[in-house]
């Protein structure tokens, strides 16, 4: 070996020899990173760490197995923009001002990304935003326009509009990985990966179209609910049977143009975004189903059940893409030696109905949409694993992130850090949660309501153009089929809950319900 080569060899081997130690020392000294993955409308029923009936999600389950699964995780207002605003601010909708999807988020208010920035974090947001105003508090952002599209969607990147070819769940992950690669590696980071999936109209990746071939999914017991004693439930417009559009939601775009449904045109627009290759794969899968469907001439209950099966097929394939892509992110963290010093969070902006009560969509304070999946894998140093049963809300994410980063949680934040809870150090924890939904009259026609949930009971007041109370015993009636409000023997319980509800409204300063 000549002298120069020997020198180079020694230099390189020296670099490689000391790199792991250097990285180790750095990661020990650095505040933990945060990867906050959120999907849109992903139900806990379709995440196998919670429910194994419909799909296996091994990558999401990995977060649960290596971390904490929150078994009683709820939102405060089950709708997209408002849920996101609650997460960003740690404050209820009436406080952060974004009460329904028609609003515009006041981006001048404090949010957890801003506090983290001030503490030296690099912050980034990739994917769905849905808050109308431009994101604030991020060093980098690339957001979908409104709901975005499943195929070849447009993004706004730091103000500029660009189209990205491909399937949206893959693209959002690619962009997230890209940012992780390019970030300033000297600083801790907080990355928000916010997927469009599994939002309506549940367009699967063409690569996964043949998944679940021939599979029949179990129909929920409450699928043919008659809504007795529940006026608001009876008057919604989110029924699989009556409101799910054959062409738009279920992709029955027949070439003959005979299925002239209300939203056929809208679907044509979405289908039209696909390139020739994507369309060919799409048609190869759906065309035979369309043909068979037209021949079958289904009606009544048979048709409703057929719609349910088609809905599940499409939705679950979207879930599968999410799971695969979460796997890519977790692998990247492993490969880069980042896993140990990173909090990984997986959640959805709310839950969703998979045919329970005959529905799709969300909004109601009933369990399927009040709940949301929540999995957290904590960085080294925080020994937290297994199931956490205390009632937590999306209100708690902001203070948890701040607490983890060593930032004092501001007094006006209404949620609480989950760190003491998961470490078994919480002195006392909430015994009841508060909920308030405002988006009425609007799509799906779910009436305005607010309510309280304890570990056993739920009391809801529907108001605005209706004045009705509902009471459920979640232990004896987990499907919430029987409204007990007028039933003998429940008077004391409902009075106690009403008092507690008023207390919560005063604690959270939600006393003026007529404002919005
Ligand atoms: C869209 C959907 C609705 C959905 C809302 C809110 N219709 O308007 O079905 O309830 O979003 O969803 S669609 O025809 O545009 O798909 S949210 O998750 O963004 O709040
Ligand atoms: Ca949503």
> Which whole-number Å values give the CA distances from 258 to 253, 290, 292, in the listed order?
9, 11, 14
pLDDT band of residue 27 (cuts 50, 70, 90) is very low
Find the DSSP H helices in 260-366. Answer: 264-272, 276-296, 300-335
Burial of 204 (0-12, 13-18, 19+ CB in 10 A): buried
- Please give the share of the chain, as a percent, with pLDDT higher than 90: 93
The pLDDT tens digits of the residues spanning 481-492 come to: 999 999 999 999
Q: Which atom of ligand 1 is nearest to the CA of 80?
A: 20
What are 152's two structure tokens? Answer: 């070849």
**Nearest Cα residue to atom 20 of ligand 1:** 80
- Please give the share of the chain, as a percent, with pLDDT higher than 70: 94
Is there a contact between 307 and 202 (Cβ–Cβ < 8 Å)? no
State the distance from the centre of ligand 1 to the C-alpha of 500, rounded, in angstroms.
33
State the distance from the centre of ligand 1 to the C-alpha of 200, rounded, in angstroms.
7
pLDDT band of residue 29 (cuts 50, 70, 90) is low
The pLDDT tens digits of the residues spanning 67-82 come to: 999 999 999 999 999 9
State the distance from the centre of ligand 1 to the C-alpha of 314, rounded, in angstroms.
16
Q: What does the pLDDT read at residue 30?
A: 84
Considering only CA atoms, which of 390, 356, 334 is closest in space to residue 43? Answer: 356
pLDDT band of residue 1 (cuts 50, 70, 90) is very low
CA distance linking residue 465 with residue 497, whole number of Å: 23
| DSSP 8-state symbol, 268 | H
State the distance from the centre of ligand 2 to the C-alpha of 237, rounded, in angstroms.
17
The pLDDT tens digits of the residues spanning 280-327 come to: 999 999 999 999 999 999 999 999 999 999 999 999 999 999 999 999
148: left (phi over 0), alpha (psi -120 to 50) or beta: left
The pLDDT tens digits of the residues spanning 89-146 come to: 999 999 999 999 999 999 999 999 999 999 999 999 999 999 999 999 999 999 999 9
Is there a contact between 424 and 68 (Cβ–Cβ < 8 Å)? no
State the distance from the centre of ligand 1 to the C-alpha of 492, rounded, in angstroms.
39
Cα-Cα-Cα-Cα dihedral sign, residues 294, 296, 297, 303? negative
User: What number is the average pLDDT over the span 434-447?
Assistant: 98
0.75 cut: is pTM over it?
Answer: yes
Give me the CATH topology for the region 29-203+315-428: Alkaline Phosphatase, subunit A (3.40.720)
501 lines ligand 1 (CB under 6 A): no
Does the structure show a pLDDT above 90 at 10? no
User: What number is the average pLDDT over the span 176-202?
Assistant: 98
**Nearest Cα residue to atom 8 of ligand 1:** 443
User: What number is the average pLDDT over the span 251-256?
Assistant: 98
**Nearest Cα residue to atom 7 of ligand 1:** 200
Give me the CATH topology for the region 437-507: Arylsulfatase, C-terminal domain (3.30.1120)
Is there a contact between 150 and 166 (Cβ–Cβ < 8 Å)? no
Q: What does the pLDDT read at residue 158?
A: 79
Q: What does the pLDDT read at residue 357?
A: 98
User: What number is the average pLDDT over the span 495-504?
Assistant: 97
Does the structure show a pLDDT above 90 at 9? no
User: What number is the average pLDDT over the span 246-273?
Assistant: 98
Domain boundaries, the chain: 29-203+315-428, 233-310, 437-507
The pLDDT tens digits of the residues spanning 348-368 come to: 999 999 999 999 999 999 999
Q: Where is pLDDT greater, at 30 or 457?
A: 457
Q: What does the pLDDT read at residue 5?
A: 45
41 lines ligand 1 (CB under 6 A): yes
360 φ, ψ (degrees, to nearest 5): -115, -175
Mean pLDDT across the chain, nearest whole number?
Answer: 94
């Amino acid at each position: 070996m000549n002298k120069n080569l020997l020198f180079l060899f020694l230099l390189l081997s020296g670099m490689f020899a000391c790199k792991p130690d250097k990285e180790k020392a750095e990661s020990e000294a650095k505040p933990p990173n945060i990867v906050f993955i959120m999907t849109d409308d992903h139900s806990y029923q379709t995440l196998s760490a919670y429910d194994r009936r419909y799909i296996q999600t091994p990558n999401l389950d990995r977060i649960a197995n290596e971390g904490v699964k929150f078994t009683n995780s709820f939102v405060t207002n089950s709708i997209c923009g408002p849920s996101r605003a609650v997460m960003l601010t740690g404050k209820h909708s009436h406080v952060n001002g974004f009460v329904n999807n028609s609003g515009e988020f006041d981006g001048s208010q404090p949010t957890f990304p801003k506090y983290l920035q001030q503490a030296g974090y690099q912050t980034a947001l990739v994917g769905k935003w849905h808050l109308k105003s431009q994101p604030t508090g991020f060093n980098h952002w690339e957001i979908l326009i409104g709901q975005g599209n499943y195929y070849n969607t447009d993004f706004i990147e730091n103000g500029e509009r660009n189209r990205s070819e491909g399937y949206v769940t893959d693209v959002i992950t690619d962009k997230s990985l890209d940012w992780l690669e390019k970030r300033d590696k000297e600083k801790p980071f907080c990355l928000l990966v916010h997927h469009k999936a599994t939002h309506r109209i549940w367009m699967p990746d063409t690569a996964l179209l043949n998944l679940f071939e021939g599979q029949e999914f179990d129909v929920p017991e409450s699928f043919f609910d008659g809504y007795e004693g529940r006026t608001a439930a009876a008057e919604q417009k989110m029924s699989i049977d009556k409101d799910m559009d054959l062409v738009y939601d279920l992709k029955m775009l027949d070439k003959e143009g005979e299925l002239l449904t209300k939203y056929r045109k809208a679907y044509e627009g979405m289908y039209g975004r696909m390139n020739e290759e994507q369309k060919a794969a799409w048609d190869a899968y759906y065309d035979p189903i369309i043909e068979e469907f037209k021949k079958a001439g289904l009606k009544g209950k048979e048709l409703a059940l057929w719609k349910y099966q088609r809905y599940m097929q499409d939705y679950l394939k979207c879930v599968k893409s999410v799971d695969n892509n979460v796997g890519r992110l977790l692998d990247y963290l492993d490969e880069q030696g980042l896993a140990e010093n990173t909090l990984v969070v997986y959640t959805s902006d709310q839950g969703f109905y998979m045919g329970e009560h005959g529905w799709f969509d969300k909004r109601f304070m009933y369990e399927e949409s009040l709940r949301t999946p929540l999995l957290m894998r904590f960085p080294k140093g925080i020994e937290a694993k297994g199931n956490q049963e205390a009632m937590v809300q999306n209100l708690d994410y902001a203070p948890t992130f701040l607490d983890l980063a060593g930032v004092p949680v501001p007094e006006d934040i209404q949620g609480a850090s989950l760190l003491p809870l998961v470490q078994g150090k919480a002195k006392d924890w909430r015994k009841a949660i508060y909920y308030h939904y405002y988006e009425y009259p609007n799509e799906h026609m779910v009436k305005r309501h607010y309510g309280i949930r304890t570990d056993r009971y739920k009391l809801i007041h529907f108001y605005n153009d209706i004045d009705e109370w509902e009471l459920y015993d979640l232990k004896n009636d987990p499907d919430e089929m029987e409204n007990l409000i007028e039933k003998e023997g429940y008077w004391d319980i409902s009075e106690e809950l009403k008092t507690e509800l008023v207390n919560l409204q005063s604690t959270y300063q939600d006393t003026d319900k007529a404002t919005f």
